[in-house]
Amino acid sequence: MSPFLAFFRMWRVWFIQGNQDIRLRYKRSILGPFWISASLASLIIGLAFLYSEIFQQDVRSYAVFLAGGLIAWNFINATIAEGATMVIDYASDMRGARMPLSVLAGRVAYRNMTILGHNMVVGIATVYLCGFTLTPRFFLIIPGLIVLWVFAMAAGIALAPICARYRDLPEIVRNFLQLMFFLTPIFWLPSQAGRRTLFVEGNPFNALIDLVRAPLINSDYSNGFVTTLSITMAVTIALAIFSYLSTRRKLYNWL
Amino acid sequence: MVHIHADNINYSYPIFDKRRSIKVSVMKTMVGGNIRQKNGKTVVQAVRDVSFDLAPGDRFGLLGHNGSGKTTMLRLLAGLILPDTGKLDVQGRIVSLITRGTGINEDLTGADNIELPLRILGATDAEVARAKVEIPEFIQLGDFMQLPVRTYSEGMKARLTFGICTFLRGDIILLDEWLSTGDKDFIAKANARMDEIVSETGIMVIATHSTGLVRNVCNKVALMEGGEIKMIGTPDEVLAVYEDPYA
């Protein structure tokens, strides 16, 4: 059974596991999954208040920009970091049953898509509270989220086997993500990059963030969006296929 | 058509550990597979040149010392690992009970733990719906089904696991030792359930040390040693060799 088919045939498995993950994480808490929303809201309020002043920006348009960026970044950051360790984390499942990588990746992507849904409530609330409205452009978020889902699964499948073999790699992945958080226009504006346009136009993370942010805050995609996104997706999917084909015989011994 | 064809299959796994001296001493003992060098890496050849054919009705016993390759053989049949060389053709719905309890989450209630393990084993919607009614009846944990599994005693956990993993019927069942659990009353029920599975399954493959089990349940037995099938035959033929210390 190819992993591509397994994702569809075993959808119940990643669906149930993803729901269990969310349920168990917030078990015995009063707000439950709305802690996700609450923590994003506090981050937006805190950062928008100070950084709009530092960057000399209008606090309301800065707040929505920040909301869109953080919602997308939280998803990208979590799916890459958790995708990288999914084979290590779910090794006991893989030892006992046929658990294709695409099912593990589906669990990580689905779980984080649920979190994104909770965050989107805060995002939309921010848009309206700051005096803006959603426009028909918002519907572009649907293809955007599908692309993000595919990216998340491809990144997980690309990284997880090699991270299971060399256990230092998850640490490197986390460091890399932290660096990219600062090098990507999330809390600073694309226009502030000045001559360093590479960090905006050629930045794969900026293109991925635009998938969510541009429809939410009714802005245009960055220059070079289509090219950067296409290259990012093609490379990530190619790496995932390569990773799967080159490790599937050995993976069991790395668990 | 349900069948298993194994044709000259080999499987070896690498050793990442560097302490050679322990391996050398392991090599001298009776148990274990063949430890060899492959491309400068130390590997254990867990299954070597194994061939057999199984058809519906076969109750195939894998007999042998610890480390003789029985469990590796089951993992190959379950599709958890792929043979390095050789052909392995398995047709039919496989229910693998090699590792039990996959998918059970101790923070969830017994009732909430029924669906996922069955879905992992490949259950359909209809089977899951039936399981949610029949498993609680079978394992008789009463109101404990509504409590988190971590509050269970070991015996209760074993009942739950047994009830879940013996629920599904397949064309091929893979067993690592006979499953039985619980107190006196439950053991009788568990054994009845196992007999039922054996009679309702096309092909059964069981790895075991129990000569009594082989005699009672199996019609075909392979004696494994160092990853190889030393002989294959009826229980009487193979047990005559296995039980003879001078053979």
Q: Which domains does chain B have, with CATH numbers?
A: 3-7+50-93+206-242 (3.40.50.300), 105-168 (no CATH)
Most confident of A36-40, A155-159, B96-100, B202-206: A155-159
C-alpha–C-alpha distance, residues B170 and B138, integer Å: 19
What are the pLDDT digits (tens) for A111-128?
A: 999 999 999 999 999 999
- Would you state the pLDDT for residue A111? 96
Calculate how close chain B gets to A96, using CA atoms only, in Å. Answer: 5
- Would you state the pLDDT for residue B31? 55
- Kindly determine whether residue A253 and residue B14, on different chains, have CB atoms separated by under 8 Å: yes
C-alpha–C-alpha distance, residues A244 and A162, integer Å: 10
b (16+ CB within 10 A) / e for A158-179: bbbbbbbeeeebbeebeeebee
Calculate how close chain B gets to A157, using CA atoms only, in Å. Answer: 18
- Would you state the pLDDT for residue B20? 46
Q: Are strands B3-14 and B41-54 parallel, antiparallel or unpaired?
A: antiparallel
- Whether pLDDT at A1 is above 70: no
Lowest mean pLDDT among A95-99, A174-178, B182-186: B182-186
Question: Which of B85, B99, B104, B119 to substitute to test the interface with A, most A CBs within 10 Å?
Answer: B119
- Whether pLDDT at B15 is above 50: yes
Nearby residues of A244 by Cβ (< 8 Å), 6 or more positions away: A3, A101, A157, A161
Residues B70/B215, Cβ–Cβ less than 8 Å: no
Calculate how close chain B gets to A248, using CA atoms only, in Å. Answer: 9
Domain ranges of chain A: 3-254
Helix, strand, or coil (residue B81) = coil
Q: Which of A20, A24, A96 sits opposite B102 (nearest CB)?
A: A96
Instruction: Please report residues of B whose CB lies closer than 8 A to that of A12.
Output: 115, 119
- Kindly determine whether residue A24 and residue B79, on different chains, have CB atoms separated by under 8 Å: no
- pLDDT band, very low/low/confident/very high, at B39 (cuts 50, 70, 90): low
ipTM confidence score: 0.84
- Kindly determine whether residue B102 and residue A12, on different chains, have CB atoms separated by under 8 Å: no
- pLDDT band, very low/low/confident/very high, at B66 (cuts 50, 70, 90): confident
- Would you state the pLDDT for residue A208? 97
Whole-angstrom Cα Rg for chain B? 20
- Kindly determine whether residue A10 and residue B119, on different chains, have CB atoms separated by under 8 Å: yes
Instruction: Please report residues of A whose CB lies closer than 8 A to that of B98.
Output: 96
What are the pLDDT digits (tens) for B91-101?
A: 998 888 888 77
Instruction: Please report residues of A whose CB lies closer than 8 A to that of B13.
Output: 253
**Can you tell me the mean pLDDT for A86-112?**
93
- Token pair listed for A98: 């046929």
Q: State residue B89 phi and psi, 5-degree precision.
A: -120, 115
CA nearest to A158, candidates A69, A104, A237, A49: A237
